[in-house]
Structure 1
Amino acid sequence: MQLDTTTDAVLNADNHLIQSFTDLDALKQNNARTIIQRAKGALVYDNEGRELIDGIAGLWCVNVGHGRRELIDAVTKQLEELDYYSTFYNFTHPAAAILAEKITSLAPGNLNNVYFANSGSAANDTAVRILHHYHARRGKPNKRLVLSRVGGYHGSTYLAMAMTTPAYSEGWTSATDLVHHLRSPHYWREGDGMTEAEFLDDLMRDLEQSIARIGPDNIAAFIAEPIMGAGGVIVAPEGYHKRALEICKAHDIKYISDEVVTAFGRLGHFFASKEVFGIEPDIITSAKGMTSGYQPLSATIISDEILDVISAPGERFLHGFTYSGHPAAAAVGIANIELMQREGLPEQVRTTGKIFEKAMKGLVNIDIVGEVRGSHFMIGIEFVQDKQSKKPFDESVEIGSRIAAAAQERGLIVRPLGSSLILSPTLVMTPVLIEKTEAILRESIETVVSEL
C-alpha cells in the first residue's frame, strides 16, 4: 500500500488525530500544524522541504540523532528473528534479558533489577505501585503517599499526572489524594532575597515539616528529577538531592530519581543521579534516550533490597504490560547503548554540552531574557517584562509561542512553555550547529521584542 503523504492528504487525515498538550479546537481551526516528513542527524525536514534544527530532539528523545543505521538495522534484524513475545510468567527472550543486564551495569549502587514498560509515565506509576506492595509486605500498608514538587513533571497517566506540577492538570482530575507537592526549588523565582544556601535550608525545612505533618508512616516515596524538565528546566540549589535523600532515609521514605530525561547522555553520563548529583536512589526511572526514541521503551530500575522483599517465597508480582520488554524495543536499546559507548557520546557531551550551555546563557544580555538555566543539552530560557522586578509577561502576549514561531521560520524548532522556551537538542550537535542555534534564537527574540 502506497501512502499519500502530500500535504493536503496528511492534514485531512490529521483531523482524526488527537495531539498532546495543545488547544485542539484552535489547532483544527487555524490549521497551524507542522508536518515533519523526514530527519537526519540533528536536523528534520518539513513537508515543504525546509531544513530545521531539531532543538527538542523530538521530545527529549533522539539522543544519538536521527536516521542512525545501526538502530534501524537492530529493529529489522530483531523482527525477522523474533517479532514479539511477552515477558509474562516464566517467559523471557534474549533482547530483554541482555538489555536489562546492560542497564544495571550502568546504573549506580545496587540498582540491579529492571522492569520494562513503554513510557516514562508507566515507569513512574510502576515505581509507586512496587513501593506500595513493598511497604505492605513489610507490615506498613499505610505508607502510600508520594512527595513530589511544584515544577516537577512525571508523566500523563492518572498517578503520574498527580505527581506532576499542578499546572499541567488544570481542569482535569488525577490521583491527587496520593500526592503532596513540596515547594518549587527554583531559586531565581522563589529565593525571596535569600542566599542560595539559605534557600536550600528553607527547602529542607519544608520537606521535614511536610513529613512531620503528613506522618512518615504514611509516606511511601519522594520522587524528583535531577533537573526538572517539562516544568521549566529548573535546577535545584547545589546539594539539594543529597540532603533530601538523607532526610528520606532517616524517615524510611524511598527515593525515586526520575531520569526519564536526564539519563543516557543528556548531562554527559548514562545516569546523572550519582555521577552528577552524588546520590544513589532506591529507584531510577528512565525512558526517552534509552532507545533514542527509535522505539517506545522505559525502565523502572529497583534496588536489590526492594526486590528481596517483593520476591519473597510465596509472593507473586501482580503487575504487567503487554509490551514490557518488547523484542524490537529491547534490541534498539542494546544497539543504542553500544553506539553511545563506541562513539563515546556521553564523554563528548561533557564538552559540546558545555559549549551549548555557554552559548545559550549568553542570551541573557537581551533585555527580555530574565534567566537562562539548565545544564549541557538541557536548557530553559525565561522571558520577563522587567529584569529588575522579574515581572512576567501577561499570558495573552504568548511570548514563548511567538518566539518559538519566529525561530521555526528561521530554521529552528524549540518548545514554548508559557513565558519560557525549552531546548533539548540531539546530543550530536556540532559547534557549528550550536552557533547557528544561538544566532537564530537571538534574532528571533530581538524580532519579537521589536514587534512588542
Structure 2
Amino acid sequence: MTATLTNLDLKKLDDAHHLHPFTDFKELSAAGGSRLITKGEGSWIWDSEGNRILDAMAGLWCVNVGYGRKELADAAYRQMMELGFYNAFFKTTTPPAAELSAKLAEITPDGLSKVFFANSGSEANDTIVRMVRHYWNLKGKPTKKAFISRVHGYHGTTMASTSLGGMPVMHSQGDLPLSGFHHVMPPYTYELANGMDPEAFGRLAARAVEQKILELGAENVGAFIGEPIQGAGGVLIPPDSYWPEIQRICAEHDVLLIADEVICGFGRLGQWFGSQRYGIKPDFMTLAKGITSGYVPLSAVMVGDRVAETLIEEGGEFYHGFTYSGHPVACAVALANIAVIEREGLVDRARDDIGPYLRGRLEEELADHPIVGEIRSEGLIGAIEIVKDKRTRERFPGDGKVGLVARDHCFRNNVILRGIRDSLVFSPPLTLSHEEADEMARLARRSLDETARDLGVL
C-alpha cells in the first residue's frame, strides 16, 4: 500500500486517523502533523524530507544495539517462516520462548530463575501487581496489598502501572491513582538535597519509604517498586547510599522489592542490569525495551525464587496472561539481540569506553554554559539540568517547560534529546561512536545557545 502513497499522503492519513501517545492531538494537527521517520541505521534516523538525525534517545530508551541490524531482521524472518505464532496457553511452548527463559535466568542476578512474558513494560508491571497480591494472599497475609513508589517514577500507562508511577499529570486523567498506591520523595539530589552531603541525602530519601511503611503499617504494605535510575522522571541518579538502605528497609518490614529495569536493563548503565550496578536483590524485575532493542514488542517479569516457589506450590492456576506472551518471533529477536550485545561487548563498552567519553565531551562543551546547572550520567543515560542561576539553582519561570523549548531546538538541529521539566535527557544506542558523541555534544551546545537566546540570557 505505502508504495503507491507519497510522503505527503502518509502524513495526511496520519493526521486524519492516528491518535499518538503522549500528544496534544489538536496542537499536533494545527502544527501540520507528524514528522515522518522513514529509515534508521546505526545511531541515525532519516525523515521524509531527507534530514539525517542523530538519535540520542535510542528511539524511546530502547534501540540499544542501534538501527538496521540485519541479525535481528534475519532472526525474525527465520522464525516467521518456521512458526510465525503459537500461544503459551494449553500447556505448550515454543523453542525460542524456552531458550529465552533460560537465557534471561542466566544473565539476570542470582535468585531470579522464573520468567513470565508479556508485551510491554506496562503489561509486565500490571502482571507484578497481580502476582504480589496473589502471593500475599497465599502467605495468609491478605492485608499486604499497598504499593509504594516514588514521585517522578514511571512504570507504564495502564490503570495499575500508571498508579504505580508518580506522575501527577498522568494521574489527572482517569481518576488515578487507584486505591492502595502511594508515592514518596525521589532521590533527586540536584533538586532536593539543599546542600546536604549526597550520601546522607541518599539515606534520607530511602527513609521516606520507611516512613510511609510505618504510616500505612507494614502489615498493609505488599511491595516497593523503583527504577534503579528514574528514567522518564528526568534521569534521577541516586547516591550510592540509597539502594542499600532501601534493601534493608524492605527486608526489615517484609516488603517485596521490585526493580523496574525497563530502561536500565540490557547494558545501559554499564552492567547488564541496574540491579547489578547498585547491588539490588529484587523479588521481581521488570524487563522490556532493550530486551529486543525495540525491534519487536516484548517484555518479561523475572520472578524471585521465594515468590515463584509459593506461586508454583500453593497458587494453583494463575488466571492471567496475554495472547502474545512468549511470542516466538519476539523471543527469537530477543535472543539475537542479546547475542549481539554479548559478541560486541556492549555492556563493558558503555561502562569503560563510550559512557565516560560522552560524559567528558558534554562537560567540555557545556560545563561553562550559562543555563546548564548540572550534567549527570551513568553509562549511557544522563541529563542536562537547565537553570536560570547556576549558583542558586533558581529555575526559569514557566512550570518546567524550558526542557521542551530546548528539545524543540534539538529537533531543528537534527539531534534528538528529550525534554523533561527543566532538563534535556539522553540515552543513545550503546553502539554510539566517539565521532557521534562529539557531534551530539556540539549540537547540544548549539541548541542550548539558541534556548538561552530565547530566554534572554545570551
TM-score when normalising by structure 1: 0.96
- 1:113-156, Cα deviation, whole Å (9 max, x unpaired): 00010001111111121111011000011111111001211111
SS at match of 1:392: coil
Q: Which of 219, 243, 246 is equivalent to 1:244?
A: 246
Equivalent position of 1:119 in the other structure: 120
Equivalent position of 2:325 in the other structure: 324
CA contact (8 A) 1:361 1:373 kept: no
Matches of 2:281 and 2:136, distance apart in 1: 20
Between 10-19 and 166-175, report the one with greater CA deviation: 166-175
CA contact (8 A) 1:311 1:317 kept: no
Equivalent position of 1:207 in the other structure: 209
SS at match of 2:376: strand
- 1:316-346, Cα deviation, whole Å (9 max, x unpaired): 1111111101111000001001111111111
CA contact (8 A) 2:385 2:423 kept: yes
Matches of 1:126 and 1:418, distance apart in 2: 30
Equivalent position of 1:62 in the other structure: 63
Matches of 1:336 and 1:314, distance apart in 2: 34
CA contact (8 A) 1:264 1:290 kept: yes
Task: Give % identity.
Answer: 38
CA contact (8 A) 1:43 1:66 kept: yes
Equivalent position of 1:75 in the other structure: 76
Between 349-358 and 128-137, report the one with greater CA deviation: 349-358
Equivalent position of 1:439 in the other structure: 442
The AA in structure 1 aligned to 2:95 is P
- 1:42-89, Cα deviation, whole Å (9 max, x unpaired): 100000111000111110110000010000000010000001111113
SS at match of 1:422: strand
1:184 corresponds to 2:195: no
1:176: how far off? 3.1
SS at match of 2:86: coil
- Cα 1:425–1:4 change in 2 (3 A) is farther
- 1:239-277, Cα deviation, whole Å (9 max, x unpaired): 211110111011110100000001101112222202x11
Between 136-145 and 190-199, report the one with greater CA deviation: 190-199
Alignment of 1:167-182 (within 5 A): 167-172=168-173, 173-182=175-184
Between 210-219 and 368-377, report the one with greater CA deviation: 368-377
The AA in structure 2 aligned to 1:412 is V
- Cα 1:4–1:162 change in 2 (3 A) is farther
Between 116-125 and 393-402, report the one with greater CA deviation: 393-402
SS at match of 2:212: helix
Please report the RMSD computed on the Cα atoms of aligned residues, expressed in angstroms.
1.5
1:306 corresponds to 2:331: no
CA contact (8 A) 2:44 2:55 kept: yes
Matches of 1:47 and 1:197, distance apart in 2: 48
1:170: how far off? 4.7
1:305: how far off? 1.2
1:353: how far off? 1.3
Between 171-180 and 397-406, report the one with greater CA deviation: 397-406
CA contact (8 A) 1:145 1:220 kept: yes
Equivalent position of 1:136 in the other structure: 137
1:421: how far off? 1.1
Equivalent position of 1:87 in the other structure: 88
Q: Which blocks of at least 5 consecutive residues in structure 2 are unaligned?
A: none
CA contact (8 A) 2:171 2:177 kept: no
CA contact (8 A) 1:356 1:376 kept: no
Alignment coverage as a number of residue pairs: 451
1:2: how far off? 4.6
Equivalent position of 1:29 in the other structure: 30
1:396: how far off? 7.1
Equivalent position of 2:424 in the other structure: 421
Alignment of 1:13-52 (within 5 A): 13-15=13-15, 16-52=17-53
Equivalent position of 1:260 in the other structure: 262
Between 337-346 and 77-86, report the one with greater CA deviation: 337-346
CA contact (8 A) 1:147 1:221 kept: yes
Q: Which of 357, 372, 376 is equivalent to 1:369?
A: 372
Q: Which blocks of at least 5 consecutive residues in structure 1 are unaligned?
A: none
1:444: how far off? 1.2
CA contact (8 A) 2:206 2:243 kept: no
SS at match of 1:372: strand
